[in-house]
Amino acid sequence: EYRSSWRGLATANTLPSAFPALDTFADRHIGPESREVSHMLKELGYNSMDAFVAATVPPKIRVASEAVSNESIPPLSESELHRRARDLANANKPFKSYIGMGYHNAVVPPVVLRNVMESPAWYTPYTPYQPEIAQGRLESLVNFQTMVMSLTSMDIANASLLDEATAAAEGMVMAFVSSNQKKRTFLVDSSVLPQTLSVLQTRAKGFGIQLVVGDVFESLGDEALLSDLCGVLVQYPDVNGSIKDYSNLAHIIHNNAGGLLIVATDLLALTMLKPPGEWGADIVLGNSARFGVPAGYGGPHGAFFACTDKLKRKMPGRLIGRSKDAQGKPAYRLALQTREQHIRREKATSNICTSQALLANMAAMYAVYHGPTGLKRIAQKVHALTQFLRSSVEIYGYKAVNKEFFDTVTFDVSGAIKDAEAVHSQARAARINLREIDAKHVGVTLDESVSAEDVVAIVNVFAAAANSSADLADVSSTDSLSISPALQRTSKFLPHPVFNTHHSETEMLRYIYHLQSKDLGLVHAMIPLGSCTMKLNSTSSMIPLTWPEFGNVHPFAPIDQVQGYLAMIKELEDDLCKITGFHACSVQPNSGAAGEYAGLSVIRAYHESRGEGHRDICLIPVSAHGTNPASAVMAGLKVVPVKSLGDGSLDLEDLKAKAEKHKDNLAAFMITYPSTFGVFEEGVQDACKIIHDNGGQVYLDGANLNAQIGLTNPATCGGDVCHMNLHKTFAIPHGGGGPGVGPICVAEHLEPFLPSHPVVALGGEESINAVSAAQFGSASILLISWAYIKMLGGNGLSAASKVALLNANYMAHRLSGHYNLRFKNRNGRVAHELLIDLADFDKAAGLKVTDFAKRLQDYGFHPPTCSWPISTCMLIEPTESESLEEIDRFCDAMIQIRQEAEDIITGKQPKDNNVLKNAPHPISVITLSEQEWNRSYSRQAAAFPAPWLQERKFWPTVSRVDDAYGDMNLICDCPSVEEMAHGSA
Amino acid sequence: EYRSSWRGLATANTLPSAFPALDTFADRHIGPESREVSHMLKELGYNSMDAFVAATVPPKIRVASEAVSNESIPPLSESELHRRARDLANANKPFKSYIGMGYHNAVVPPVVLRNVMESPAWYTPYTPYQPEIAQGRLESLVNFQTMVMSLTSMDIANASLLDEATAAAEGMVMAFVSSNQKKRTFLVDSSVLPQTLSVLQTRAKGFGIQLVVGDVFESLGDEALLSDLCGVLVQYPDVNGSIKDYSNLAHIIHNNAGGLLIVATDLLALTMLKPPGEWGADIVLGNSARFGVPAGYGGPHGAFFACTDKLKRKMPGRLIGRSKDAQGKPAYRLALQTREQHIRREKATSNICTSQALLANMAAMYAVYHGPTGLKRIAQKVHALTQFLRSSVEIYGYKAVNKEFFDTVTFDVSGAIKDAEAVHSQARAARINLREIDAKHVGVTLDESVSAEDVVAIVNVFAAAANSSADLADVSSTDSLSISPALQRTSKFLPHPVFNTHHSETEMLRYIYHLQSKDLGLVHAMIPLGSCTMKLNSTSSMIPLTWPEFGNVHPFAPIDQVQGYLAMIKELEDDLCKITGFHACSVQPNSGAAGEYAGLSVIRAYHESRGEGHRDICLIPVSAHGTNPASAVMAGLKVVPVKSLGDGSLDLEDLKAKAEKHKDNLAAFMITYPSTFGVFEEGVQDACKIIHDNGGQVYLDGANLNAQIGLTNPATCGGDVCHMNLHKTFAIPHGGGGPGVGPICVAEHLEPFLPSHPVVALGGEESINAVSAAQFGSASILLISWAYIKMLGGNGLSAASKVALLNANYMAHRLSGHYNLRFKNRNGRVAHELLIDLADFDKAAGLKVTDFAKRLQDYGFHPPTCSWPISTCMLIEPTESESLEEIDRFCDAMIQIRQEAEDIITGKQPKDNNVLKNAPHPISVITLSEQEWNRSYSRQAAAFPAPWLQERKFWPTVSRVDDAYGDMNLICDCPSVEEMAHGSA
Ligand SMILES: Cc1ncc(COP(=O)(O)O)c(C=O)c1O
Ligand SMILES: Cc1ncc(COP(=O)(O)O)c(C=O)c1O
Ligand SMILES: O=C([O-])O
């Protein structure tokens, strides 16, 4: 009896197979049990899953079931996966790294580690598009913004970008745009991080920006350069640890040359250094990871980005602002949403969508916990240890190249030894990594995790290399700072109450729990956001992530120390190739949009390699996600939109006409499959053929890959390259708005062009430059998708896709008759999501999509994707992880709201003051006095319209948030001491 | 600047001390920052902490500050502790154990591991004395009870006991009590677990029960024995794996002999075996740990205990029942509280107080997640693998002694080899532990974690010992069960909806979060329960607990495999001795009450060793905790109460008179210090001298040790033995009602009598028998207290005690004038808690302690300890972990409630229908319609009486629970399918 999987899905592949493992993951990941699957099939009129799938997925694009099967991807049980992850962890060598170059060992406060990073309450929510059920992480992101603004002394900061290098690229493009795209020269100091430079090179190409790399002070003597200058990037402190005074540079740029001064910097250093905002920076950016986020072999980390007030409406990424709700109470929400690519499309100059919310939250919590005094103490200790190191190492004849530094010293070794390798070989013997600069120079960067004993061990390394035994400098060598007085910080930072209150673990824990209590995540209910695939983020796949063997790894650690990581990444890449039908993979892009940009850049490089670099037209359906046109523009392409037909399918005629019209310059076609309208288009292969016939390449946006696995694949559909959102299809949690990973898979002819990296050997001669700071992007979270794939195995993966289709179709079936299903295929089937059109309600009674969405909150659900890809629609995606019970509960809610709308349409309820227009109803509204409760419906009807809510109710914490007010009165930091005192927070 | 601890408490002791660690634990553990400490001192009129302490703790009992200092206990920073714990973990060898004997390798469902075991929402709440803010874990505990009832087929089950051995002892005493203490013979089958037998021996002694050990079937032939028989204990399956049919035994006992049939059993086996309830058992008990709780070197584990309906009101431990609230809605709560020792005191026959709530919840969640079908599949696989093992091993000439078995086979090796050691040495080489029975017999027990590969490895061991190479049996050897048809289970189990719903991880996660959302824990607010010391349970101290190197250790693993554990336990014992001033320590008792019993048993053994075994009088103050008299009775002592004086101090005259009166038979004096009235008695040393002068020993109940550390200690106060509640003073989380650890420390003359263990060498010739199943009790959670002590270090520990005193005194100061502080010392100081008397409110307006307590819930606080030790009082203990802000918030709430009471007294509000009498106010009440809201106060006044509640409110989920109704209509299982269908749940 135990030998067949009792919930009816995959079984594990153990030896002897007579005794299969019982902790099979498919049984836990997939929501409906087999009897529920049968029930849904029956409701839809099919007697088997196969028959259902045949009616749903066009036969001509189906792939053989061997492609993704238990033979090609054998499933591991949950405990087998755990053991395998343990083996990989043990294959990474835990050397201590002092390499620096933008990456540090972090000390994660245990209370934050366990209650934020490891907590599904924090990692499962989506980007806070629904502010009424997201005030917790909105507040935390505002803390992040405030922290960045205060430490950098800038007017405004966003809620994170993907990494420091891409943040620098965003800055460069802002500078270019600020010159009205007139000035094309961008000057980069030669001491910026090499990975930043590489990413700038990639990005400059698309925009036709001219990068000049050199000593900024010297370069500014060049008049020709000055006249075309849109901006300058410097690093403060720089890659070698030096701290230069750039105030004069700022003066020159602002008064003589014009253009923006962009400063890459380090938040911890800024507790001791004069902040760039005080000496003229226009944009300040960097990596916040040393505020309690593990190195994780390169990421994910929250980059920060701050600018002057003048530039604020050009700033990329998500910005959180304070507004007010329908009751006039303060409330946070995403500000300036009108700037996002959904609206701007090909006029956007940034494609940033998913960012690094979870990591930004961790960094913000770190600052909340330590407070200004704690941060300063940490910085002071790091600095003093660095001074002590410098003085001790100099005893042996090594010479510090930089006299002024914060945490990094570059030693000229030539006074002591012949070749730096002598130091490095001693270091390796001591299980230490130092920065390998060249034969004459060795770099050392310290951080919060470093103890005096660690420094003694480093000193020993240098001493041994010089055939000496350790001697230490006097501690008095640390008595005065190694920072010139003019560059020492004198201004206060983080005076806000939130950074000066939660300093005991008990207080911090309560603050974390208080914020999370306001946020709806997958721990509460379905989040049926179309195109976002909010599925289970399993504990088994999350557990290895916070093992130190994966967390404490520097991305530039020698290759023999990272064999566990490399094996895992190779397996993941191979599996993604099997799943997509492609030949090669790059996991470097750290979001879906970054994947789009990388894939299109690869296509451009391919055309160039064939002498067709002029190909610059990109066809994109009007229904495409806003990141598609934005990415195309960034890759230097011109966007030509393609129409859709009335049935939602691509207008092949229009496609053909435009492909032919542009055939000499056709670079690419971008398509999402199944389409963003939620149907499998029959003509996808025909469309791709049209493109290929006209010399173009096909980019497939894999956001909807969850509909495909084991049934079809992007290669079979006709694509040349696709990105995947590992944070959708492959179960990386959304983290409240990131992290994400957007790897690209490509056909064989495109492999030579996959991204390289300037520090770590990757790619070949024809490779494009880097698209992310780290060679494998957000490497540590690749573990999650790796585990997801390995645990489901081939059969489980395709079972998941089948159930995703089934759940969506069952939902469409239940809602039909109540709502207008906008598109379906000729058999009446949708794909893994469904689009319902609410336009009629607006016509009949002025009821908008938003009214339905906010009312769903009252029923305890996160609303589906609203007004995209069609403004009057909702796009609903249940995913395979939702059980029949949850899906029915959601349908019941939708149907009941339909009835509530009917009462408004028929005049039983007023058109303005009704349950939909007033939704959502927080407790503060429900408990209004009898006088204030001036409504034609009862409190019960407002808050408990469905029976299950009596037992299980998630409460919005504010009423409907006023976006326009917030955008007009943009306030993006947390309340100050004065505001708290006056109660205006 | 960074060199002095910025929050002003301890600094870490690193080398070189010029660069101290900054992650010092004291700064995080202690709530008030130094400026707040100064503020509180000033409010109290002291200009230094020393002056305050001098006025609070009697000078004559003060100890030198060296006793507990950074020299005697050097502090480790949080990261240093982590590294040290890692080293200890690595010192345990991860052999795989198949030893059985009541302990198994468990597979913890990852979703339960992370979201229950590792979640402060689950581990920080207290025992659910306040049902309105504890419905979540009450429901889960009812799931546990239901699971036990259903699997055992018994009428009723409690919500866990400490371990299987003590559960058996509780059963034995119930049998004895059921004979009206007339029949003194208790028969124990010789194949019960050896540790169970040892604990029975200890317990039998105190009650004067005669234990007879032998083959039960043979023994029942003995007429003399039968005539005095109160009960029989059998193990099913027994220690060797055999499954015997005891139905005839049940018949004989019930029809001929009289007495109770007690069965120790295994929940997993019961999915396949006919349950004891179906063949006549009166009591069924065992260990539930194999349901997803790690072995943890012996514990903590949740023992279960079930009995027939007839016996239910005699059942020890906590029982959760369903009742209804003031609105008539179903609600869970602790049932039959009137039976607890608080009420019964020396008439109680069990002292069980803290039990194993968290572990019971884990086991219940395991059953919810797997459901009946999943459990059965696990059992069937374990059984089939055991059959396969048996058949394979027999190939080499070994003979299975037991033909019928579930998961355990005992092999007679003599047909294959000379000495079992040949098998064991092969096993060790393969990193495997088998059960070492004797030279002829080897035992093997399998469990859920065992794979087919593991079995092959075991077979290899036996093969190699027989100089053979591995050959395997045919899988068909598993085709029919090795359980006699008569003993195969045919009845269904766990048909309840809750066990048949939450089987996907998403559903399970939501169920866990749904339950936890109903429970107030330390993650929400202060839990100022007097005598319970609800302080921070730090993440740093919790992290190592769930490392597999500590979790996957069998308590009877060979000594060389547990060196990490042994080192940690030794360090903890040494530190506890330093703290108490005593000479030796035993960590075996797994609760405070178990510590009392162990300590008193040690005292008795000491008297016996001196030929004074007749000493059996125990003096106990009337104010003592109910467990004290109960424990005394269990240790065979007669309780003589001692009076208190009007000022709360012990009546030394009365003590002297009684000590002298009983001097020939005086065994012990039990005293809590500071007293349960919350003051340091001046005369404690005099009291102890009186006892010693009259031949008695002094037992010090250490529940209040948090007031003492580094300031005084039990030895200095005059005690001979004390227990500590590690789950109070030493920061083991309460887990919602357990686990706990109650180690005892003793003076040198008592050391020889500390508990031994029947399986593992411990103690000496004069040792008492075991008091817990495992030699080190709940070994794994000792890590938490070890970490707590190591991280605080000596200075931090005494700083914590000082701030605990300060917080309580500041609170007393703020409440004075508003409430009647019952006792204080001559300087006006209380100890670490304060007792306020509400009797006047009852007189003036019929307002009871409960009304104040329930109203505090509306303010978001867990009420203090109510009606103990004085029925009209509240005992309030803030602990050192609460910040000044939180303490002020609590005082503000108390003062405002005082005002609400005043309005009732003065007639502004009615006496019956007011905010206190109607408290607490759940949302369901707040949202009543205008008609139903028939109250003279507003919804706002009900739910948001204080400003901070607008932003931060914890909601009770039911209104006041009706205890009497529940006790009259005792229902202790979860709703059945029928009830759910009829909505009567
Ligand atoms: C169809 C589609 N393409 C691209 C993206 C962008 O992915 P990311 O947010 O990871 O940048 C999204 C995001 O939701 C999407 O839905
Ligand atoms: C004074 C006192 N003694 C003993 C105990 C019993 O401890 P435990 O619950 O761990 O058995 C308690 C429990 O609250 C107590 O307050
Ligand atoms: O996140 C999206 O923009 O869909």
Contacts of B506 in chain A (CB under 8 A): 31, 522, 536, 881-883, 886
Minimal Cα–Cα distance from B47 to chain A, Å?
Answer: 24
Segment B957-975 mean pLDDT: 91
Global pTM reads 0.97
- With contact defined as beta carbons under 8 Å apart, do B68 and B798 qualify? yes
Tokens 């206990």 locate to: B73
Pocket test for ligand 2, best of B531, B699, B781, B875 (most atoms within 8 A of CB): B531
Tell me if residue B432 falls in helix, strand or coil.
strand
Q: Whose alpha carbon is nearest atom 7 of ligand 1?
A: A592
Whether the pLDDT of residue B1 is over 80: the answer is no
Q: What is the length of chain B?
A: 985
Q: Whose alpha carbon is nearest atom 10 of ligand 1?
A: A592
Distance in angstroms (rounded) separating the CA atoms of residues A95 and A461: 14
- With contact defined as beta carbons under 8 Å apart, do A457 and A95 qualify? no
According to DSSP H, which parts of B430-526 are helical?
A: 452-465, 505-516
Segment B738-759 mean pLDDT: 98
* ipTM surpasses cut 0.85: yes
Cα(B533) to centroid(ligand 2), Å: 11
* Pairwise CB contact (< 8 Å): B19 & A388: yes
Q: Which amino acid does the sequence have at A749?
A: H
Whether the pLDDT of residue B14 is over 70: the answer is no
Distance in angstroms (rounded) separating the CA atoms of residues A463 and A837: 73
What is the model's pLDDT at position A15? 40
Contacts of B1 in chain A (CB under 8 A): 376-377, 380
Q: Which of residues 1-60 of A touch B (CB under 8 A)?
A: 1-2, 6-7, 14-16, 18-19, 21-23, 27-31, 33
Angle at CA of residue B536, ends B532 and B537, nearest 5°: 95
Tell me if residue A624 falls in helix, strand or coil.
coil
Q: Which of residues 116-175 of A touch B (CB under 8 A)?
A: 118, 120-121
What is the model's pLDDT at position A580? 98
Q: Whose alpha carbon is nearest atom 10 of ligand 2?
A: B592
Contacts of A15 in chain B (CB under 8 A): 452-453
Task: For A434-479, write each residue's pLDDT tens digit.
Answer: 999 999 999 999 999 999 999 999 999 999 999 998 788 888 888 8
Compute the half-sphere exposure of residue A829: CA atoms within 13 Å on the CB side of its CA.
25
B879: left (phi over 0), alpha (psi -120 to 50) or beta: left
Nearest CA in chain B to A506: B536
* Pairwise CB contact (< 8 Å): B380 & A540: no
* Pairwise CB contact (< 8 Å): B79 & A883: no
Is the beta carbon of B773 within 6 A of some atom in ligand 2? Answer: no
Report CA B397 to chain centroid distance, whole Å.
46
Cα(B930) to centroid(ligand 1), Å: 48
Tell me if residue B331 falls in helix, strand or coil.
strand
Distance in angstroms (rounded) separating the CA atoms of residues A402 and B947: 55
Q: Which of A792, A804, A795 is nearest to A40 (CA)?
A: A804
Distance in angstroms (rounded) separating the CA atoms of residues B104 and B445: 8
- With contact defined as beta carbons under 8 Å apart, do B359 and B369 qualify? no
Cα(A684) to centroid(ligand 1), Å: 20
- With contact defined as beta carbons under 8 Å apart, do A832 and A784 qualify? no
Distance in angstroms (rounded) separating the CA atoms of residues A804 and A729: 11
Distance in angstroms (rounded) separating the CA atoms of residues A907 and A775: 61
DSSP at A115: I
Ligand located closest to B833 CA? 2
What is the model's pLDDT at position B983? 62
- With contact defined as beta carbons under 8 Å apart, do A193 and A102 qualify? yes
Count A/B contacts: CB-CB distance under 8 Å: 220
Whether the pLDDT of residue A968 is over 90: the answer is no
What is the model's pLDDT at position B680? 95
Whether the pLDDT of residue B11 is over 60: the answer is no
Q: At what angle do helices A164-178 and A194-207 cross, to 10 degrees?
A: 40
Choose among B380, B506, B950: nearest Cβ to A536. Answer: B506
Segment B144-167 mean pLDDT: 98
Whether the pLDDT of residue A11 is over 60: the answer is no
Looking at A355-359, B63-67, B117-121, which range is the least confident one?
A: B63-67
Tell me if residue B488 falls in helix, strand or coil.
strand
Distance in angstroms (rounded) separating the CA atoms of residues B516 and B134: 9
What is the model's pLDDT at position A777? 98
Nearest CA in chain B to A23: B109
Whether the pLDDT of residue A2 is over 90: the answer is no
> What is the Cα Rg of chain B in Å?
28
Segment A35-47 mean pLDDT: 97
Residue A693 CB coordination number (10 Å): 13
* Pairwise CB contact (< 8 Å): A886 & B943: no
Closest atom of ligand 2 relative to the B727 alpha carbon: 10
What is the model's pLDDT at position A980? 80
Segment B474-481 mean pLDDT: 87
Q: DSSP labels for A409-456?
A: EEEE-TTT-S-THHHHHHHHHTTEEEEE--SSEEEEE--TT--HHHHH
Helices (H) and strands (E) in chain A, counts: 34, 26
Q: Is the dihedral of CA B915, B919, B920, B925 positive or negative?
A: negative
Is the beta carbon of B353 within 6 A of some atom in ligand 2? Answer: yes
- B985 and A CB contact within 8 Å: no
Q: For residue B979, what pLDDT band results from cuts at 50, 70 and 90?
A: confident
- With contact defined as beta carbons under 8 Å apart, do B262 and B231 qualify? yes
* Pairwise CB contact (< 8 Å): A78 & B536: no
Task: For B41-52, write each residue's pLDDT tens digit.
Answer: 999 999 999 999
Q: Which of residues 72-91 of A touch B (CB under 8 A)?
A: 78-79
Q: Which of B449, B446, B447 is nearest to B459 (CA)?
A: B446
DSSP at B304: E
Segment A201-218 mean pLDDT: 96
Minimal Cα–Cα distance from A584 to chain B, Å?
Answer: 33
Higher pLDDT, B906 or B474: B906
Whether the pLDDT of residue A14 is over 70: the answer is no
Distance in angstroms (rounded) separating the CA atoms of residues A481 and A485: 8
Q: Which of residues 895-954 of B touch A (CB under 8 A)?
A: 923-924, 926-927, 929-930, 938-940, 943-944, 950, 952-953
Pocket test for ligand 1, best of A725, A732, A832 (most atoms within 8 A of CB): A725
Whether the pLDDT of residue B10 is over 50: the answer is no
Minimal Cα–Cα distance from A754 to chain B, Å?
Answer: 37
Q: Is the dihedral of CA B864, B868, B873, B876 positive or negative?
A: negative
* Pairwise CB contact (< 8 Å): B540 & A110: yes
Is the beta carbon of A534 within 6 A of some atom in ligand 3? Answer: no
Segment A551-556 mean pLDDT: 98
Is the beta carbon of B725 within 6 A of some atom in ligand 2? Answer: yes
What is the model's pLDDT at position A918? 98
Distance in angstroms (rounded) separating the CA atoms of residues A670 and A351: 15
Q: What are B618's strand-pairing partners? A: B639, B668
- A272 and B CB contact within 8 Å: no
Which of A19, A381, A472, A958 to mutate to probe the B interface, most B CBs <10 Å? A19
Closest atom of ligand 3 relative to the A532 alpha carbon: 4
Q: What are A405's strand-pairing partners? A: A242
According to DSSP H, which parts of A299-420 are helical?
A: 341-344, 357-394
- B113 and A CB contact within 8 Å: yes
Segment B588-609 mean pLDDT: 98
Task: For B534-560, write each residue's pLDDT tens digit.
Answer: 999 999 999 999 999 999 999 999 999
Task: For A186-202, write each residue's pLDDT tens digit.
Answer: 999 999 999 999 999 99
Distance in angstroms (rounded) separating the CA atoms of residues A973 and A309: 13
Segment B766-792 mean pLDDT: 98
Q: What are A321's strand-pairing partners? A: A333
Q: Which of A923, A891, A918 is nearest to A904 (CA)?
A: A918
Closest atom of ligand 1 relative to the A531 alpha carbon: 16
Q: Whole-number mean pLDDT of chain B?
A: 95
Task: For A943-952, write each residue's pLDDT tens digit.
Answer: 999 999 999 9
Tokens for B916, please give them: 């206190």
Tokens 């054998």 locate to: A74
Q: Which of A298, A266, A286 is nearest to A554 (CA)?
A: A298
Q: For residue B593, what pLDDT band results from cuts at 50, 70 and 90?
A: very high
Ligand located closest to A532 CA? 1
* Pairwise CB contact (< 8 Å): A883 & B504: yes
Q: DSSP labels for B200-263?
A: HHHHHHHHT-EEEEE-HHHHTT-HHHHHTEEEEEEEES-TTS-----HHHHHHIIIII-SEEEE
Nearest CA in chain A to B881: A506
Cα(A895) to centroid(ligand 3), Å: 26
Task: For A342-388, write each residue's pLDDT tens digit.
Answer: 667 888 889 999 999 999 999 999 999 999 999 999 999 999 999 99
Minimal Cα–Cα distance from B603 to chain A, Å?
Answer: 40
Whether the pLDDT of residue B12 is over 50: the answer is no
Q: Which of B2, B20, B273, B315 is nearest to B153 (CA)?
A: B273
Segment B99-114 mean pLDDT: 98
Nearest CA in chain B to A475: B18
- With contact defined as beta carbons under 8 Å apart, do B561 and B92 qualify? yes
Q: For residue A10, what pLDDT band results from cuts at 50, 70 and 90?
A: very low
Is the beta carbon of A349 within 6 A of some atom in ligand 3? Answer: no
Percent of chain A, pLDDT > 70?
A: 97
Whether the pLDDT of residue B13 is over 60: the answer is no
What backbone phi and psi angles, to 5 degrees, belong to A207? Answer: -90, 0
Angle at CA of residue A319, ends A315 and A324, nearest 5°: 135
Tokens 């009471």 locate to: B901
Percent of chain B, pLDDT > 70?
A: 97
What backbone phi and psi angles, to 5 degrees, belong to A63? Answer: -110, 160
Beta A617-621 vs A666-672: how paired, if at all? parallel
Q: What are A671's strand-pairing partners? A: A700
Higher pLDDT, B66 or A108: A108
- With contact defined as beta carbons under 8 Å apart, do A285 and A264 qualify? yes
Pocket test for ligand 1, best of A529, A531, A590, A744 (most atoms within 8 A of CB): A531
Cα(B782) to centroid(ligand 3), Å: 48
Q: For residue B969, what pLDDT band results from cuts at 50, 70 and 90?
A: confident
Cα(A309) to centroid(ligand 1), Å: 29
* Pairwise CB contact (< 8 Å): A79 & B536: no
Tokens 């959904």 locate to: A342
Whether the pLDDT of residue B342 is over 70: the answer is no
Segment A668-696 mean pLDDT: 96
* Pairwise CB contact (< 8 Å): B883 & A19: no
Segment B831-849 mean pLDDT: 98
Segment B146-162 mean pLDDT: 98
Helix (H) or strand (E) holding B950: helix B948-951
Percent of chain B, pLDDT > 90?
A: 91
Task: For B232-283, write each residue's pLDDT tens digit.
Answer: 999 999 999 999 999 999 999 999 888 999 999 999 999 999 999 999 999 9
